Amino acid sequence: GAVVSQHPSRVICKSGTSVKIECRSLDFQATTMFWYRQFPKQSLMLMATSNEGSKATYEQGVEKDKFLINHASLTLSTLTVTSAHPEDSSFYICSASSTAYGYTFGSGTRLTVV
Amino acid sequence: DQQVKQNSPSLSVQEGRISILNCDYTNSMFDYFLWYKKYPAEGPTFLISISSIKDKNEDGRFTVFLNKSAKHLSLHIVPSQPGDSAVYFCAASGLGTSYDKVIFGPGTSLSVIP
């Protein structure tokens, strides 16, 4: 079946630094990729939707300058958390969609900003 | 405003019995519904889905029922097993295509007691 590889699985960074999270579809081409974040004991919240070669569409309340999304190819999307602060600590998950496999999720990245 | 609701934050069921997880949605444009299972610190795992043209879809121990008029769906797990203990997210998508962004409910934590 379809596999989405997301890494790193865990990252700890200092406040003010930037962190990049990668999301790759390993054996299929994803027409669209989605980025979610999950706060403890809360649901997955959609942050943004990205299509290859075009600008990401951000959900209301998500700062596009803070959460930079690059979707350079049909198999790779990256999320960069810029100038991270402790309140950005969360669990980030990507999802790739394709006509063949529907939605496939990555395993998530636990970001801790200290 | 929450478009996908799971009003029971938790559910406990005895092993071997049926687990019924409920989900309600408000947006009549949703036409594709999904259930995901999630363990802590991992990405969601797809379980089963249903299109709005159906009212039931079955896959092994998992059955999803959809009542469009009531904007309600439910996931039945029978027989329940201890390994089913996890958080279950109901999700909806649509707005004209089955591959639009996915909106998640808040989740229901299922505990299957041996």
Contact at CB, B45 and A105, closer than 8 angstroms = yes
Q: pLDDT tens across B45-75, in order?
A: 889 989 888 999 999 999 999 999 999 999 9
Instruction: Check: CB of residue A94 under 8 Å from CB of residue A21.
Output: yes
Instruction: Check: CB of residue A62 under 8 Å from CB of residue A45.
Output: no
Q: How far apart are CA A31 and CA A54, in angstroms?
A: 11
Contact at CB, B36 and A105, closer than 8 angstroms = yes
Other Cβ atoms closer than 10 A to A97: 24
Question: Could you list the pLDDT tens digit for every one of the 114 residues in chain A?
Answer: 678 999 998 999 999 999 999 999 998 888 889 999 987 767 788 899 988 888 898 988 999 999 999 988 889 999 999 999 999 999 999 998 887 777 788 888 999 999
* Residue A113, pLDDT score: 95
Candidates B43, B103, B105; nearest CB to A93: B43
Q: pLDDT tens across A6-36, in order?
A: 999 899 999 999 999 999 999 888 888 999 9
Residues 41-60 of A with CB under 8 A from B: 42-46, 49
Q: How far apart are CA B57 and CA A4, in angstroms?
A: 25
| Cis amide leading into A8 (omega within 30) | yes
Q: How far apart are CA B56 and CA B95, in angstroms?
A: 21
Q: How far apart are CA B74 and CA A54, in angstroms?
A: 37
Rg for chain B, CA atoms, rounded: 13
Give mean pLDDT, residues B82-91: 95
Q: In degrees to the nearest 10, what's the CA dihedral of B67, B71, B77, B83?
A: 160
Contact at CB, A106 and B43, closer than 8 angstroms = yes
Chains A and B form CB pairs within 8 A to the count of: 52
If pLDDT is split at 50, 70 and 90, which confidence band does B96 have?
very low
User: Largest Cα–Cα distance of chain A, in whole Å?
Assistant: 41
Sign of the alpha-carbon torsion through B16, B24, A2, A71: negative
A105 Cβ under 8 Å from any chain B Cβ: yes
